[in-house]
Amino acid sequence: MQVKSALRNVFRNRRRTAFSLAVIVIGFLVLVSVLGFVQEALQSTKESLASESGAVQVASEGLFENTSSDYDYLISPETLDRVILEASTLDGVIGVSWQLNFAGLVGNEEGSTLIIGQGVVPCSDVQDYECIVIAGDPLEEMSDRQVVLGSALARKLGVVPGDRINIATGTVSGNFNAATVDVSGEMTYAFEDLESQLGLFPISFVQRLLKTDGVERILIGLEDLDDSDAFAAALQARLDAAGIPLVTRTWEELNASYESIRSFYAAFSGLAMIGIAVLVFFSVLEVLTISFLERSREIGTLRAFGTQRGRIFRSFLLEGAFLGVIGAVLGAILSAILLLSFNAIGFTWTPPGAAIPQAIQLRLGTQVILMPIVTVLVSTLLSSTFPSWRNSRIQIVDALRSI
Express each pLDDT in 38-77 by its tens digit. Answer: 888 888 888 878 888 899 999 999 999 888 878 889 999 9
The pLDDT, as a whole number, for residue 394 is 65
The pLDDT, as a whole number, for residue 401 is 59
Beta-bridge partner residues of 313: none
Q: How many CB atoms lie within 10 A of CB 288?
A: 24
pLDDT-derived band of residue 400, with 50, 70 and 90 as boundaries?
low
Torsion angle (degrees, nearest 10) of CA 193, 196, 202, 208? -110
CA distance 257 to 239: 28
pLDDT-derived band of residue 346, with 50, 70 and 90 as boundaries?
confident
The amino acid present at 274, given as its one-letter code, is I
Identify whether the C-beta of residue 179 lies closer than 8 Å to the C-beta of residue 167.
yes
pLDDT-derived band of residue 220, with 50, 70 and 90 as boundaries?
very high
What's the half-sphere exposure (Cβ side, CA atoms, 13 Å) at 364?
14
- Asked if residue 120 has pLDDT above 80, the reply is yes
| DSSP letter assigned to residue 352 | T
Q: Angle 14-53/309-345 helices, nearest 10 degrees?
A: 50
The pLDDT, as a whole number, for residue 296 is 63
pLDDT-derived band of residue 16, with 50, 70 and 90 as boundaries?
confident
CA distance 401 to 403: 6
The pLDDT, as a whole number, for residue 324 is 85
- Asked if residue 344 has pLDDT above 60, the reply is yes
Does the reported pTM lie above 0.85? no
| DSSP letter assigned to residue 215 | B
pLDDT digits (tens, 9 = 90+) for 162-209: 999 999 999 998 899 999 999 999 998 767 778 888 999 999 999 999
The arithmetic mean of pLDDT across residues 351-373, rounded, is: 75
The arithmetic mean of pLDDT across residues 16-31, rounded, is: 85
Tell me how many degrees the CA angle 353-357-361 measures, rounded to the nearest 5.
115
Domain boundaries of the chain, sorted by first residue: 2-48+258-400, 61-245
The arithmetic mean of pLDDT across residues 336-348, rounded, is: 86
CA distance 234 to 248: 10
The pLDDT, as a whole number, for residue 395 is 62
- What average pLDDT does the chain have? 84
CA distance 108 to 334: 59
CA distance 192 to 354: 6
CA distance 90 to 231: 8
Higher pLDDT, 66 or 143: 66
pLDDT-derived band of residue 7, with 50, 70 and 90 as boundaries?
low
Q: Where are the alpha helices (DSSP H) in 146-295?
A: 151-157, 192-195, 203-210, 228-242, 251-254, 257-293
DSSP letters along 13-44, please?
Answer: SHHHHHHHHHHHHHHHHHHHHHHHHHHHHHHH
The pLDDT, as a whole number, for residue 353 is 45
